[in-house]
A and B are shown apart, each in its own frame.
Chain A
């Protein structure tokens, strides 16, 4: 019984810690969009073509946060 409770405790703590990965993704996305915006304000003529690139950068930055979320989900419902 003790071991079971400890496992559950570890699971929940681990799931919470895995969610810190999303903070990193937030920093990354902010960085991408902020730099896009500063570039776009300097040269508004070239801004439109780079929107797709910006979204691509967001998607890649977000992917790493998603892996953390995935670990949290696995810990909660699968392990």
Chain B
């Protein structure tokens, strides 16, 4: 990070990566395990927002839903539909986990778009934790449900015998690369979008009257970022469901 900021001395007054710095909320001390940082604050705000939406939404339980209630119901129904489509009716056991993941990622992505806020999911440390938990769940659940048959995932019996060792190597690599791509996809998308916004924001003031052009573009990019935030949360959730299907249903792929 130091090399990048040295290179940009002449140009940008605000470095586009400054928004991702984790800093303690109180004082300037070193960050330990239990230091309350801006990341902690925004994670707590995300959880509070989710709790507020779902508790307020389900409190009335009216037959004709209010706006808040129908939002909560839409979220719930959407994920429920997705889980039962891929995992079948008995996959509903995993619904609470998938719903938690989806809603947490969706809300941190969307709340990260608020100016001066902090995007929790733009840090690989956060998304890698989520992805590694999914990865560990798939491995443990696979061995519990299928025993050693779970290793059949790496030995495609539908392929000709001569090809199988080659395919097994590819399958092993693609299995162990899953948590990497799963986590960096989300963090990379969030980080890149926010950095692009900051870079364009730095163009507005120096261009004086022509600055409306990058400003208009930024408005469009914010709209795109809202879509990206929703789609990335959806992709994270559906990939989780599909990885879980490998563990629960043998030979599904």
Contacts and interface: CB of A to CB of B under 8 A. Distances in A.
20 contacts: A8-B3, A52-B82, A52-B86, A52-B238, A55-B231, A55-B234, A55-B238, A59-B185, A59-B235, A59-B238, A62-B185, A63-B181, A63-B185, A66-B184, A67-B177, A67-B181, A69-B184, A69-B188, A76-B4, A77-B1
Interface string A38-76: 000000000000001001101100110011011000001
Contact of A58 (B86, B177, B184, B235): B235
Nearest to B185: A66
Interface residues of B, number: 18
A74 B85 CA distance: 38
Interface of B: 1, 3-4, 82, 85-86, 177, 180-181, 184-185, 188, 231, 234-235, 238-239, 242
A63 to B, nearest CB: 4
A63 B174 CA distance: 11
Contacts of A62: 185
Given A59-B235, A63-B181, A67-B181, 7 more contacts: A52-B238, A55-B231, A55-B235, A63-B185, A67-B180, A70-B180, A77-B1
A76 B5 CA distance: 12
B181 A56 contact: no
